[in-house]
Structure 1
Amino acid sequence: MILQAIDYTSPTAQKDFVQSLRDTGFGVLKNHPIQKHLVSAIYQEWQAFFDGETKNDYRYNVGTQDGFFPSDVSETAKGHTQKDIKEYFHYYPWGQCPADKKALLAQYYAEANTLALELLTWVEKHSPVEVAQQYSQPLSSMVEGSDQTLLRVLHYPPLKGDETLGAIRAGAHEDINLLTILPSANEPGLQVKAKDGSWVGVPCDFGTLVVNIGDMLQEASGGYFPSTSHRVINPEGADKTKSRISLPLFLHPKPDVVLSKRHTAGSYLHERLVELGVI
């Protein structure tokens, strides 16, 4: 399996993108509307944030999950015993955020949400009739007006060589939400699990956008769109003294949206957060 970047401006972009999601759980876009300079500026601002001490003034709120999550409370991927080697900040428009960093994040959040809504309409348009009939409402309407969509600023610190045996930057996991939108990070390491069980590197050319299916879209589509395992490894041959910054947007429906006979978005999210050990 090789993940090829799909040209967002191509006349067959919609069909090709949805087919890639169906085949691999991932789609990679180039020539998309999100500007490189905006992403780069956010990486620079937040590198300074994670390098400093004021980050501890923004410790996360347990009830609302907004703010700074230090490495000692980082997630443990489902089925793993070691915590991931990372720290991160959860940004919601209504949540806490350093005043001098809010403007760029708010701009990116708005632009990424607009693109994500468009991609959801692609998915719905190119879903087989029998799959589309399972959606309780149009996919894009599931997230319209949602205050649950999460922008996470992730920092994978430089590796010192004394990490706990078996710990990697992000253990193999699936995302919880509908779609995840991720600008290529500034360092390699993201891998997706192929159907044969092998791990395949995801293109990290700066300027490409990586999109993957989350468990909620898998649930809503009756398994037609697969939520695929992915991980962030400590890359061999790369400069491990470098930080890695990553900026995933997790597209979440409104809590009362019906995903399936088993779950609303709210009940599904709560179940998974308990499994992850963050609530």
Structure 2
Amino acid sequence: MNLDTLPVLSLAAEPAALSRDLGASFQQFGFAMVKDHGLDPALVERAWAQTQAFFALPDAQKRTYAIPGIGGARGYTPFRTEIAKGAKVSDLKEFWHVGRDLPAGHPLAGAMPPNVWPAEIDGFHETFATLYAAFDQVGARILSRIAVWLGLDEHWFDGAIADGNSVLRLLHYPPVPGAPDGAIRAGAHEDINLITLLLGAEEAGLELLARDGRWIEVSPPPGALVVNIGDMLQRLTNHVLPSTTHRVRNPDGARAGFSRYSMPFFLHLRSDFPFHTLPQCITAENPDRYPVSITADDYLQERLREIGLKM
């Protein structure tokens, strides 16, 4: 495998080969790029248009959708709120979160607040509820291939992610003609969740930290998804699948005057999922790093405090 270039893999490939190739890319980079994922191009185009329309609203109007006390889990999170773990300055971004809608009385409803929807953007609710469900399906397909690579049944993750606390984030990085305090669009970080599926990385700026310490640009072809391992899957696999540090650097030259948009889908476990390291990922050379079990929600809340979204 080329140590500088992520392969672009087809989700329509033969399943055993796809498991092999995804596993190899994830083990080497913590990242993969995938095409033929089945997301409806017309739906995606509509989602981009509505994302841009929302972020073009006046700041005071957007802030009416910022909900205190829930760590940005739903609705709007204002510019320069989130900070990468260990960083000294906040990221140059604002975002909107869409989560899973659960029926009244659902046992996990306490960990997953209801969605809010901006009344100003026609069709926003329908578009993003549909796109959320589509991402959910693609993520489950990818996890089934990861399961096989790990030596598990292809349906192993089905119960673990059923009614999971996944979040679709609509991201806006405003123009940065002069970055304050040395801030960048997204400081070096790892994702909290199981896997992340990202649309919009065709616009330059996303970079991953290679094992030799170099930053490698991630540049998928138009319409392809970037997929990366999150800390929850790293924990579950005892670091056999690494959660790789990545960032979004500020643009050069004329591009600094343009906004950047992206849509990551953070696929999460069920909030009550108990972490137990997979036995096949524990060896004499790689002893269990996590002998004490915690739930997925305990882990999430701890990390939200670290990145400034919760007190």
Report the Cα offset of residue 35 of structure 1: 2.5
Provide Cα deviations, 1:146-204, integer angstroms capped at 9, x if missing partner.
2x11111110001132x213200000000000000111345211111100010001114
User: Does structure 1 retain, via aligned residues, the 8 Å contact 2:201–2:219?
Assistant: no
- Aligned AA (1:66): R
TM-score (norm 2): 0.82
2:75 maps to 67
Q: Secondary structure at the match of 2:83?
A: coil
Report the Cα offset of residue 238 of structure 1: 5.6
1:63-142 maps to which residues of 2 (within 5 A)? 63=70, 65-72=73-80, 74-92=81-99, 93=101, 94-99=114-119, 100=122, 101-128=124-151, 132=152, 138-142=156-160
Residue of 137, 141, 144 corresponding to 2:162: 144
- 217-226 or 58-67: bigger deviation: 58-67
2:294 maps to 263
User: Does structure 2 retain, via aligned residues, the 8 Å contact 1:171–1:232?
Assistant: yes
In the aligned structure 2, how far is the partner of 1:40 from the partner of 1:240? 23
User: Does structure 2 retain, via aligned residues, the 8 Å contact 1:60–1:68?
Assistant: yes
- Aligned AA (1:108): L
1:239-278 maps to which residues of 2 (within 5 A)? 239-260=255-276, 261-278=292-309
Structure 1 vs Structure 2: percent identity of aligned residues? 38
4+ residue runs of structure 1 moved beyond 6 angstroms? none
In the aligned structure 2, how far is the partner of 1:114 from the partner of 1:239? 34
2:12 maps to 9
Report the Cα offset of residue 278 of structure 1: 0.9
- Aligned AA (1:96): V
- Aligned AA (1:21): F
User: Does structure 1 retain, via aligned residues, the 8 Å contact 2:161–2:269?
Assistant: yes
Unaligned segments of structure 1, at least 5 residues: none
In the aligned structure 2, how far is the partner of 1:40 from the partner of 1:201? 24
Is residue 32 of structure 2 the alignment partner of residue 32 of structure 1?
A: no
Residue of 19, 22, 30 corresponding to 2:27: 22
- Aligned AA (1:90): H
TM-score (norm 1): 0.91
Aligned length: 270
User: Does structure 2 retain, via aligned residues, the 8 Å contact 1:186–1:245?
Assistant: no
Residue of 156, 160, 166 corresponding to 2:177: 160
Report the Cα offset of residue 23 of structure 1: 1.3
User: Does structure 2 retain, via aligned residues, the 8 Å contact 1:189–1:233?
Assistant: yes
In the aligned structure 1, how far is the partner of 2:261 from the partner of 2:275? 32
- 89-98 or 105-114: bigger deviation: 89-98
In the aligned structure 2, how far is the partner of 1:118 from the partner of 1:143? 12
Report the Cα offset of residue 269 of structure 1: 0.6
- Aligned AA (1:6): L
Report the Cα offset of residue 252 of structure 1: 1.0
Unaligned segments of structure 2, at least 5 residues: 102-113, 277-291
Report the Cα offset of residue 13 of structure 1: 2.3
Report the Cα offset of residue 116 of structure 1: 0.4
Is residue 218 of structure 2 the alignment partner of residue 218 of structure 1?
A: no
2:105 maps to none
- Aligned AA (2:75): G
Q: Secondary structure at the match of 1:84?
A: coil
Report the Cα offset of residue 263 of structure 1: 2.2
Report the Cα offset of residue 237 of structure 1: 4.4
